[in-house]
Amino acid sequence: MLPGFYRSCQIGVRILLLLLTRCQLKGKENVPARGPLLIVSNHINLTDPIIIGAVIDQKVAFMAKEGLFRFKFSRFFMRNLGAFPVHRGRMDVEALRQALQVMAEGKALVMFPEGSRSRNSQLQSALLGSALIASRSGALILPIGISGTENIKGVAWLLHRPRITVNIGCPFSLPPVDGRLTKEKRAELTRSIMSRIADLLSPEYHGDYAERGN
């Protein structure tokens, strides 16, 4: 990893956010000073992980889809920004191992529990990986709700400075699990995680978790 690359990119993105958007950051005081920390967020635009990396002061690692590592240029950026690949649609044992290693080292990891971007900007039913990693690591979970990035598309958005809100909630821990972490239990814990994210979004973003949003 190139020394200073992450910090330089972080500063550059902050400048772009200031110039090109009206970005409002809420709840920054909720970010713990140190890890281990699992950061979970909704996902509606390719810029979401970039924005999270910019607004969180500490260096974070990312789980990113495997396709982004297939080409030399994108792989260079992914690796130097602390990302590692995950294969969608199956249990990726190596990605799980790397995620737990990040937690064991007391660092922060960003995950998007839905697994992919929402095409309608609303919350989709989440995969179970975030609950598995949080439960096995015992790490604090920091929920984030992002809104407004759905307006970053095409070229016209550059003329309008879209309003983006990054709402950071209070960190929480999952309850201890007695016995084996079954699929049903992981699903229950995942719903708990997603309800925290929904609480940070306005109702029009709640989607599959509308009955849990306030």
Predicted confidence pLDDT, tens digits, the chain (214 residues): 677 899 999 999 999 999 999 999 999 999 998 879 999 999 999 999 999 999 999 999 998 888 888 888 888 888 888 899 888 767 789 999 999 999 999 999 999 999 899 999 999 999 999 999 999 999 999 999 999 999 999 988 988 999 999 999 999 999 988 888 999 999 999 999 999 999 999 999 999 999 744 4
* pLDDT at res. 1: 61
Give the type of residue at 65. Answer: K
* pLDDT at res. 41: 98
pTM above 0.85, yes or no: yes
* pLDDT at res. 89: 67
CA–CA distances in Å: residue 170 to residues 43, 151, 161, 162: 19, 27, 28, 26
> What's the CA gap between 22 and 160, in Å, rounded?
9
Q: Which fold has domain 5-212?
A: Glycerol-3-phosphate (1)-acyltransferase (3.40.1130)
* pLDDT at res. 61: 93
Query: Quick check: 12 and 6 in contact, CB under 8 A?
Result: no
Q: Tell me the two tokens of residue 156.
A: 């016209």
